[in-house]
């Protein structure tokens, strides 16, 4: 398994944008999880993959095909960029620019939505650490923050707190 640090993620996304631009395409992604923690918060040195969904203006088949080219060029697994996170989304997503390069724009959802997803995942100490870091970045009274987070919790799901 390849671990992706800041330089690897930025390089791969830049290359993905180059490939898209060469075909007259523009990719728009919404990123979640470890890649956001690495890129925006420097919360940890690496992640296993880039969890992202394609936004409405982007053909997911084009993204998959181009991501496979990037994977092949770098000798990475084809799932370095994947949309497995889509099954865990709840509530509306607001877009906050995370990365932009010719041919590609990557946004992240609100900090509250990222925190809700980390609380629902709660797979290991890394998720707990990420949740603490996100919570520290959210301003407001406890009840306001919790109200903003709960709209993104999975209905009927468990939360580790």
Q: What is the pLDDT of residue 40?
A: 95
- pLDDT surpassing 90 at residue 91: no
Query: With pLDDT > 90 as the criterion, what percentage of the chain qualifies?
Result: 59
Q: What is the pLDDT of residue 14?
A: 98
Q: How far apart are CA 153 and CA 60, in angstroms?
A: 25
* Sign of the Cα pseudo-torsion (47, 52, 58, 59, in order): positive
Q: What is the pLDDT of residue 159?
A: 61
Quote the tokens at residue 144. Answer: 């306001």
Contacts of 67 (CB under 8 A, 6+ apart): 16, 78, 80, 81
DSSP conformational letter for 88: G
- Residue ranges of domains in the chain: 4-109, 112-150
Residue with more model confidence, 148 or 1:
148
The pTM is what? 0.86
Q: How confident is the model at residue 21 (pLDDT cuts 50, 70, 90)?
A: very high
Q: What is the pLDDT of residue 24?
A: 97
Q: Are strands 50-54 and 96-101 parallel, antiparallel or unpaired?
A: unpaired
Taking only the tens place, the pLDDT of each residue in 38-61 is: 999 988 899 999 999 999 889 999
Residue with more model confidence, 124 or 82:
82
The predicted model gives 83-87 an average pLDDT of 88
Q: How confident is the model at residue 8 (pLDDT cuts 50, 70, 90)?
A: very high
């Amino acid at each position: 398994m390849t671990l992706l640090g800041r330089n690897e993620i930025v390089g791969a996304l830049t290359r993905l944008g180059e490939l898209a631009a060469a075909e007259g395409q523009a990719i728009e992604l919404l990123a979640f999880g470890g890649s956001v923690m690495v890129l925006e918060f420097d919360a940890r040195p690496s992640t296993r993959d880039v969890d992202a969904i394609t936004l409405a203006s982007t053909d997911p088949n084009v993204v998959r095909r181009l991501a496979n080219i990037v994977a092949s060029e770098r000798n990475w697994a084809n799932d370095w960029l994947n949309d497995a996170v889509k099954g865990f989304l709840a509530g509306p997503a607001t877009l906050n620019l995370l990365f932009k390069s010719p041919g590609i724009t990557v946004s992240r959802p609100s900090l509250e939505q990222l925190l809700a997803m980390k609380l629902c995942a709660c797979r290991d100490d890394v998720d707990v650490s990420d949740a603490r870091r996100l919570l520290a970045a959210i301003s407001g009274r406890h009840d306001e923050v919790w109200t903003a987070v709960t709209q993104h919790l999975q209905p009927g799901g468990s939360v580790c707190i």
